[in-house]
Chains A and B, each alone.
Chain A
């Protein structure tokens, strides 16, 4: 098998052919500026509004006016949190978690540097939150609580319904959810959720890179993210990226009608079960309760091995995965999420994330399960931790 087996769908996803076909006319025959009054422009405007409906539908929004297109998930997160603080400069207490995506985590770190007060909620070794800590952290001046729905590395789901309820019962704070990793993988129903702001990113659900959206519940005030020509009802200026917006709409449509979730879940379960059962010295990272994780993600540690080497060997075999341990420019660190979970370095270093998607087949999973033990064996033979491995 020499075709790529792509098991890195939490990083990004392949653009669906249906999405590409929906976009194609907007990259060829339709080229007007949606702000123009002529027929070419109006056609584009109509396409944007149709896409907005498609996004609103997938998210279960009350109204299409609650959806604003952005360039990516990080922009949506930055706008939600940064915008709220701009609007409410006196409510400078933020609550978030240790395991957020960098778009939230590093933004909150920056806000702490410039005078905001940030409470970082800890997770346990399964990557789950202790909600009592949230109750205790909420204060009168808490402005915004930002919690992800699904963790990008482990797939662990945070109970946002319950979190939102606690926030509403105990404070005046606005509740922002980074939903980037969850949309398209699990059902979302925002109109019945205590969520005020919700970020999504197109490329995680088979739309192209470069398009995202922010859900802003009606009644929540945010200043414009980009000031200019008044696009997106004056909330985010800049000529609309019509092909990408159309692509996101089509992707949301596709995700809403996808009936293969159980098949993906079954493939993930098979991969995960077999690795944990047949390859020695492996550990699951994230809640062992699969109901508390995304149905497509498995994060597994190969203890005392180097994740980067496992990914390289798998890549050579045509299989794309990622590792939570990356040798950056000058330091090698286990991922923040795994460190927050107190996963020992010897395990975090050899962590591999398998994230499946709609295009994966049973043959691909079987092939992966065929080649993986050989790769692990070779690296075990090479590991200087012979005594530790023997003792496990």
Chain B
């Protein structure tokens, strides 16, 4: 008895979306020092920021394979922001629909999410660097500009990234803009003559 049951078993023995995308794909990687598993996720993202195709390759246990198969299936057609929110939620958002994992395998679901977030981050970084709009784009997952974030900080007296995210969704996705939001918070409060050690 190999211990795989239900939907997890189906996804393990018949994994969806195995493979790699060439060309314009965005790549995410994750590895675990705990268990030695290695994952590569590749995404093709269309002009409306939706995930047109998601593929994975992995060396790891069946729970990892099932998580990746399920996750790549779930995110098809979703925006990068929606996919990132799913990947940021708890590992049980993956393991529960698959029938639940043994306690010591929740990190397998988490590793799948980490690889997906890494691919979305790859996309976000590339969008930011190619952005040519008037206002600097900070959060690519939810299209929030620097001006919007500055306005929210000023009007709401915001001090932390979490407060910024709550006010305007910036940072709710792949988190790759965290350091940028941090800088904006820092600049704002320093210009007010207030050191803001609390912004984290």
Interface of A toward B, CB cutoff 8 Å: 304-306, 308-309, 311-313, 315-316, 327-332, 345, 349, 381-386
- The answer to whether B59 touches A313 (Cβ under 8 A) is no
Residues of A within 8 A of B15 (CB): 382
Q: Which residue of A lies closest to B41 (CB)?
A: A384
With A and B bound together, what is the CA distance between A309 and B19 in angstroms? Answer: 17
Residues of A within 8 A of B62 (CB): 308-309, 312
Question: A384's contact among B13, B57, B61, B104, by CB below 8 Å, is which?
Answer: B57
Question: B59's contact among A315, A328, A330, A384, by CB below 8 Å, is which?
Answer: A384
Q: How large is the interface on B (under 10, 10 to 19, 20 to 34, 35 or more residues)?
A: 20 to 34
Residues of B within 8 A of A384 (CB): 29, 38-40, 57-59
Q: Which residue, of B18, B35, B61, B105, has the highest number of chain A Cβ atoms within 10 A?
A: B35
> What string of 1s and 0s marks CB contacts (under 8 Å) between B155-172 and chain A?
000000000000000000
If A330-B34, A331-B35 are given as contacts, then 15 extra A-B residue pairs at C-beta distance below 8 Å, sorted by A number, are A305-B59, A306-B60, A306-B61, A308-B62, A309-B60, A315-B1, A316-B2, A329-B104, A382-B57, A382-B58, A382-B59, A384-B29, A384-B40, A386-B20, A386-B57
Interface SS of chain A: helix, strand, loop or mixed?
A: mixed
- The answer to whether A382 touches B61 (Cβ under 8 A) is no
- 9 tightest Cβ-Cβ pairs between the two chains A and B: A332-B35, A312-B2, A384-B57, A384-B40, A315-B2, A332-B36, A308-B61, A329-B104, A382-B18
- The answer to whether A330 touches B104 (Cβ under 8 A) is yes
Residues of A within 8 A of B39 (CB): 384
Residues of B within 8 A of A329 (CB): 104
Residues of A within 8 A of B2 (CB): 311-312, 315-316
Q: Which residue, of A305, A345, A381, A382, has the highest number of chain B Cβ atoms within 10 A?
A: A382
Question: B12's contact among A312, A330, A345, by CB below 8 Å, is which?
Answer: A312
Please name 23 pairs of A and B residues whose Cβ atoms are closer than 8 Å in the assembled complex, sorted by A.
A304-B59, A305-B59, A306-B37, A306-B61, A309-B61, A309-B62, A309-B65, A311-B2, A312-B62, A315-B1, A316-B2, A328-B104, A330-B104, A332-B32, A349-B36, A381-B18, A381-B19, A382-B18, A382-B59, A383-B57, A384-B38, A384-B40, A384-B58
